[in-house]
Structure 1
């Protein structure tokens, strides 16, 4: 099915809409700059006032999105469940937790995680840490019995805790619950610090064979990093470094003693002054990096004294500087210089045609072969640099175009995504009364690598979280849609919403939204925007064939489940986590959805089996077509047919042009599987 091309009028309207959205966003930048200054000053004065009112409290100066959206019903508690093989030894786990987390020291012999010993309180709408409360580890380390709601945990009620968990071998569970403020700020920790799992060295990871097909989630590639610009920057730095080293070896008496054989001219003196200045600044930089804070700071007099010392090292005195112009303009050098210029001109006159010929040959080789093989040409010397410049300019232009289109796409894909047929929290009851099935559900989606969950932050949880935090996209998913259509929607959103992903990453790493907008206004905006989104989706990816991890006390971790609390008006949070050879789904929903909140988890195994069956069927079809193209008619063994509807086939046909990279071939008119074909022996 070929999509119709848009008319000229439609494209002009879109371009005008993009132009207006861009200039509105640019016009708002001065307002945001003024708002940033006002918010920072007001926040500083307000927290100073609170600190003077409550001197025993340590107030949190940085606001995050979760801090703004915290309520008494949703306090932003992150939960991680570990299923560990072996026999439970509470004292051993408690000792490892005490040594590795609670009593762990930094290089200055201070507590690495002091916030674990403090109590989190709230004063006048601001969070603060109270260090005066007596810390008792037994209040945070609880050994629960094998009962749930007064009943023995068994096969019938275990799904309220984790699905599935039926095993004949000894097994126990560790549930880690941590407030999000412990993962941000100074002296913060990472979730991996509390999981107490052994770290995997990069050299120990299993390298996937080149012949094995692997595909990363498109959510992990929201902001593709440029390749030509960093390569060009490195190439320019390398060339400048080589040129500087040649310059120093030619004119610096410290590196080349032959430079002292003659008196320096004006240009030689200028070069010596430049070398002395660079050397002085380098030495001062080394001293300032290793200097104690009690020493005097670097001033202009200090810099001049350092330059004078470097000039004295090179025997550059005031008399030599004064007579350097006379040495440069010495009349005795004029005849030799004139003869040399004439000889060079004659030589260039005869050699120029040959050089032009070699340059043309090199350009032709560069056009046909991709590289020049004439080593004595300018094309061979600067071809790679020129190609890098062209590629870098192309990347920069694409980036500028993305920035230009970002405001229009941001508004269209987020605020303007609701056309009245999508799920809205205020018009659809989530309890099942007077509800109807929406045509599409607006969803927020993001992804992270498994290292985000297991790595020890060693007191730098905030920095590590910033480096690992990716972007977010907004999806419009149709309930019951085929995997092909969902893949097309996700891929299109990842291509269009790079600005949203970059903005969300900027907020997570630098607090761009919470620092530039007043807290009440930011809270209001986030709540209004989240009214349109009913679902939050996240996935934690792992490399293929990753072995199971072990705890610090040597027991194997059988499964990991990670729950993220939904934010603002989002009513359900889904997290898909890959661990070893398993893929698990964690569901955290609003209390009003009980008891329907377990439906996604109970249907998860069936959905995975149906997906695998569909993929096997498509692989069988593609293999059969390949054999038919080769002139053979093999026997096709079809897997068990998965029930499908005609509506699903129509959806696949509609989204064919948007999913050319998927595994599924163009749909056929028949819904039934292909017939059994057998090769007839002659």
Structure 2
């Protein structure tokens, strides 16, 4: 019965995969003037009218918008989809080239005032939130850059707001900061340690990549030597005399491998070769080496000649005699020298050196394979328990149906020195301290929104390095599911007890969710889930999970090295049935909290950002940290005197 179910699952998966390919070909045939997006991803599956995936970046400086128009013209010239409209055809995303494209439709300068008042620190959040709440114009490329000139504490600043659709970023391999003429210093982009609970859940395999690299290098060396000795392109003199069937077989192997390389290259370009194309590729590789059918026929006749067979036997016997009497003793002496030597790698051409290198590596790689296999075996049960059985109560952050427009808000700066002092005095990490203050802010939001405060708010957390915001970074990060306690068993509204429960929940999640973290990281890097499971099934599962885990957390950490940038705020959009996205963004010497949510929850969403610095200050006072001013002395749009919507 198990074999039948496995066979049926494989059959269904194959049918669905071929059905999708057939559907893509049908859409290409029906709409020949568009480019169909063939690749699938979690965000693409979750896309819906009421929850668009628009990434948003806010950057403040004094002269960051200089030469921005020329920069965007150059960027749009080199990236095709920045000049194409995004729409859907028969359920698939498609790009369509526009008859007319102008950067001026996407580079928008702010007016001098907003709602009859000059744009200052008192209404900057209102204005930015109003910009993010607007949909992109239909039929236009899905990206915008807003340049806002404003006065903050009497000084003139420039604020750039970048909004880009997730599919555009993914297909063009861009980050949000690429839309601005920023100069990043790569000197301090070394690997940085972080205390984020949303990263480093497991140590990646180290022996397997090393073993793969070693085997690849060895095979490449042997193959190059083989080509040098047997390829007619490298040694034309091979064909100047009659060759035997053994030499002919070597040439045949070379032709076969070269043909496979050519077919692989075409497949990667999306040009899957047909049967006749394969025959032409093989014929072309044979012609390159000036090998005709007569050469193979003469080689076969030569090998069937009894005199030639007798001559070959004599030659092999003589070779064995010379090898056993002269070469073997020399090889044994070299093996003994390598065995006695402390530096085995000095004798790289000996069997002892090869075993000394490969045996420990093969053992470590085998241990890693067993460990990965064990995690994969336990993964389904663990993931099912974590996602469906724990914390059964519902905890939606928004009770009304979302409208799709997004509003944003951000908090004052919280100094890192205060967080580090709290961390030292409580034994918690800085990230856990931030989570505790965020939970206190969420409780205040629930009180003002007339929503019943749940026992826990279930959230999905993701770590984003500062480098991933400003430079293309291929390091994949997974997702961690975390329960944030809003009610404590001993004392009500006790921040220390909330912090202790968060610490416990983080430890449990990190110990049990390594498989889920690895799977979601694999999905981000190579589309593991979206390529293995049917899109419809994934959509149903993800909509249910995002209804349950209704808060999306993003922790941005790492040192920043960008010239002319004074303040940064990054928002990762909520999708599916996820109602709110919260970012804990470290920049320089402070951390700010940013909120992105559906427009129908505004203006109450600003309660979270307004309460956050006070919650950190309350926690500092409870644990005995000396009182310091919470307001940053640096003029910044992230230090508003009023909150959005007020």
Tell me whether the two structures share a fold, i.e. TM-score over 0.5. Answer: yes
Alpha-carbon distance in structure 2 between the residues aligned to 1:156 and 1:334: 95
Residue 93 (structure 1) aligned with residue 93 (structure 2): no
1:228 positional shift: 1.1
Q: More displaced, 478-487 or 569-578?
A: 478-487
Q: Alignment partner for residue 576 of structure 1, among 563, 570, 584? A: 584
1:516 positional shift: 6.7
SS of equivalent to 1:414: helix
How many residues are aligned here?
A: 547
Match of 2:158 in 1: 172
1:72 positional shift: 4.6
User: Structure 2 length normalisation: TM-score?
Assistant: 0.66
Please list, as runs of the form range in 1=range in 2, the aligned pairs for 1:222-301 lying within 5 A after superposition: 222=201, 224-244=203-223, 270-271=246-247, 273-275=249-251, 277-278=253-254, 282=258, 300=279
Residue 150 (structure 1) aligned with residue 116 (structure 2): yes
Q: Alignment partner for residue 329 of structure 1, among 307, 310, 332? A: 310
Match of 1:399 in 2: 372
Distance 1:518 1:207, change over 3 A: closer
Q: Alignment partner for residue 193 of structure 1, among 167, 178, 193? A: 178
Alpha-carbon distance in structure 1 between the residues aligned to 2:25 and 2:110: 44
Distance 1:316 1:612, change over 3 A: farther
1:385 positional shift: 0.5
Higher relative contact order (CA 8 A, sep 6+): 2
1:220 positional shift: 3.7
Deviations 1:356-399 (A, max 9, x none): 9999x86xx9xxx9979999985444122011111111111111
Q: Alignment partner for residue 590 of structure 1, among 598, 607, 624? A: 598
Residues 448 and 468 in structure 1, CA contact (< 8 A), matched pair in contact too? no
SS of equivalent to 1:537: strand
Please list, as runs of the form range in 1=range in 2, the aligned pairs for 1:10-159 lying within 5 A after superposition: 28-42=9-23, 44-45=25-26, 51=31, 64-86=41-63, 92-97=67-72, 99-102=73-76, 104-105=77-78, 111=80, 113-115=82-84, 118=85, 120=86, 135=101, 137-158=103-124
Please list, as runs of the form range in 1=range in 2, the aligned pairs for 1:650-665 lying within 5 A after superposition: none
SS of equivalent to 2:107: coil
Distance 1:333 1:399, change over 3 A: same
Distance 1:580 1:271, change over 3 A: farther
SS of equivalent to 1:232: helix
Distance 1:165 1:230, change over 3 A: farther
Residues 233 and 289 in structure 2, CA contact (< 8 A), matched pair in contact too? no
Alpha-carbon distance in structure 1 between the residues aligned to 2:64 and 2:229: 72
Deviations 1:564-592 (A, max 9, x none): 23223222211223344443321112345
Q: Which has the larger radius of gyration?
A: 1
Alpha-carbon distance in structure 1 between the residues aligned to 2:549 and 2:12: 28
1:413 positional shift: 1.2
Match of 2:552 in 1: 536
Alpha-carbon distance in structure 2 between the residues aligned to 1:509 and 1:62: 13
Residues 76 and 565 in structure 1, CA contact (< 8 A), matched pair in contact too? yes
Alpha-carbon distance in structure 1 between the residues aligned to 2:193 and 2:255: 51
Distance 1:611 1:247, change over 3 A: farther
SS of equivalent to 1:170: strand
SS of equivalent to 1:221: coil
1:416 positional shift: 2.1
Alpha-carbon distance in structure 2 between the residues aligned to 1:88 and 1:251: 61
Deviations 1:445-477 (A, max 9, x none): 11233343323xxxxxxxx78x45532221122
1:265 positional shift: 9.7
Instruction: Name stretches of at least 5 consecutive residues in structure 1 with no aligned partner.
Output: 1-19, 456-463, 551-555, 618-637, 643-682
Residues 574 and 587 in structure 1, CA contact (< 8 A), matched pair in contact too? yes
Residue 471 (structure 1) aligned with residue 478 (structure 2): yes
1:402 positional shift: 1.4
Match of 2:631 in 1: none
Q: More displaced, 407-416 or 327-336?
A: 327-336
Distance 1:564 1:158, change over 3 A: same
Alpha-carbon distance in structure 2 between the residues aligned to 1:25 and 1:483: 46
1:303 positional shift: 3.7
Residue 221 (structure 1) aligned with residue 225 (structure 2): no
RMSD of aligned Cα (Å): 5.5
1:401 positional shift: 1.0
Q: More displaced, 560-569 or 430-439?
A: 430-439
User: Structure 1 length normalisation: TM-score?
Assistant: 0.63
Alpha-carbon distance in structure 2 between the residues aligned to 1:477 and 1:248: 62
1:86 positional shift: 4.1
Q: Alignment partner for residue 568 of structure 2, among 560, 563, 568? A: 560
1:148 positional shift: 3.8
1:442 positional shift: 0.9
Match of 1:626 in 2: none
Alpha-carbon distance in structure 2 between the residues aligned to 1:248 and 1:146: 71
Alpha-carbon distance in structure 2 between the residues aligned to 1:176 and 1:342: 72
1:35 positional shift: 3.1
Residues 228 and 388 in structure 1, CA contact (< 8 A), matched pair in contact too? yes
Alpha-carbon distance in structure 1 between the residues aligned to 2:154 and 2:351: 74
Residues 251 and 271 in structure 1, CA contact (< 8 A), matched pair in contact too? yes
Alpha-carbon distance in structure 2 between the residues aligned to 1:151 and 1:485: 46
SS of equivalent to 2:366: helix
SS of equivalent to 2:61: strand
Distance 1:207 1:246, change over 3 A: closer
Distance 1:33 1:502, change over 3 A: farther
SS of equivalent to 2:198: helix
Residues 248 and 275 in structure 1, CA contact (< 8 A), matched pair in contact too? no
Match of 1:3 in 2: none
Distance 1:175 1:603, change over 3 A: same
Distance 1:279 1:175, change over 3 A: same
1:230 positional shift: 1.9
Distance 1:604 1:123, change over 3 A: same
User: Which structure has greater strand proportion?
Assistant: 2
Distance 1:150 1:335, change over 3 A: closer
Distance 1:374 1:433, change over 3 A: closer
Instruction: Name stretches of at least 5 consecutive residues in structure 2 with no aligned partner.
Output: 130-149, 401-442, 487-494, 629-646
Q: More displaced, 157-166 or 404-413?
A: 157-166
Q: Alignment partner for residue 601 of structure 1, among 605, 609, 615? A: 609
